[in-house]
Amino acid sequence: MFQHRALQGLSSAVPVRVSTDRTLRIKVIDSCGMTCTFCHNEGTLVSADNHARPAGPFTPAGRSGRVSIYLATNGARFVAAPIRADDSFRSALERLRDALDLDEAHLTGGEPTLHPELARIVALTGNTGFAVSVTSNGENGERILPGCVQAGLQRVNFSVFGTDPEELAQVQNAKFRRASLAAAKIEALNTSLRVSLDLGLRTCANVVLPDRTHIPRVHQLLETYSPRLSVRVLSSLADGDASLDAIDTLLDELGAEPEEVHLIAGSSGFRIAYRLPNGRRLMVKHIRPLRLPSTCTGCRFNNDVDCQEGYYGLRLYRDPASAFHVGVCIQRMDLCLPVEEFVGSGLCDEIKKLREQEFHDLTA
């Protein structure tokens, strides 16, 4: 098994489950009502600041106040346009599904719940053979989630950037750090969480833990919401040992005991499930140093400092000309290929071989 600090000291009695990554992240819209200072925006430009530019040069920051943190160096060549629930989208899904045996789709943004046709996108994606989930900041969930559930949505991952207005305002663009605006966003998130749970959706709150000062956020989530809300703590690569130390402290404070390690062949993400004394489960997600054997060799970011995500998986984008693109790295958007070209490429074959080799190595 690969070496990672989070795995050190775990008893050999803790079961290890290995699965193969068969997921596709789909950027359904670029619009977002938040201006988080750490946003990678799935590697693409902020459309609101570049809508008149079908190709470079692009504006890295503009009136929207939003950012895409890798834009200056990732070689992005197109603005992401909203996905439409049409035949061209269905065709792109089918091609990728068949080429890589995919069966799960994560709808991302921007903020997916701002897409006026999100329920139709959920239905089409589900009818094409994918289990569908949404990653959301919760700003529009009350209005949009009921229709998505009827369309077949199975899970919502809520990104929690703050549990009170002051905390949320600290990570927003300086022009948007108004307490009243942050309070409205927090209330919208809390409402969306309640609606999602009431609808019977599998509901998860994702919380990044940069350092020990953020530990109270996790305690507050656990105290505020019933065990029906799954809480997932994410380590912060940018904060290194400070983030890992914070996770260790949190687990000690909670009296958490490791229950299962879940390794995913063909993806840099892995998870450890913990059981709390009251029986509640807590998930911790980490990133491991996974690289595509050929594509990542020689990449200028291929070192322990610059490569933030490693090979995380596939992403699907639509450009303003209605062409679909497949990306494999948000720090190397120059690697994006049109769907038709990707499925017949060596890159697609490389991913299949990586998954197979990884599954063999992780289960050995």
Please tell me the distance from the alpha carbon of residue 34 to that of residue 186, in angstroms, as a whole number: 11
In the predicted structure, residue 202 carries a pLDDT above the cut 90: yes
In our burial notation (b when 16+ CB lie closer than 10 A, e otherwise), range 98-121 reads: ebbebebbbbbbbbbbbbebbbbb
DSSP character for 180?
H
pLDDT in tens, 118-156: 999 999 999 999 999 999 999 999 999 999 999 999 999
Question: Can you give the pLDDT at residue 17?
Answer: 96
Token pair 């309070």 in the structure block, residue: 183
- pTM of the model as a whole: 0.94
Mean pLDDT for the stretch of residues 96-119: 97
pLDDT in tens, 267-307: 999 999 999 999 999 999 999 989 999 999 999 999 988 99
Question: Can you give the pLDDT at residue 283?
Answer: 97
| Listed residue (270, 267, 293) closest to 21, CA to CA | 267
pLDDT in tens, 33-80: 999 988 999 999 999 888 655 544 555 567 889 999 898 899 998 999
Tokens matching residue 186: 């927090």
pLDDT in tens, 205-232: 999 998 999 899 899 889 988 889 999 9
Mean pLDDT, all residues of the chain = 93
Please tell me the distance from the alpha carbon of residue 325 to that of residue 323, in angstroms, as a whole number: 7
- The domain spans of the chain are 21-200+289-363
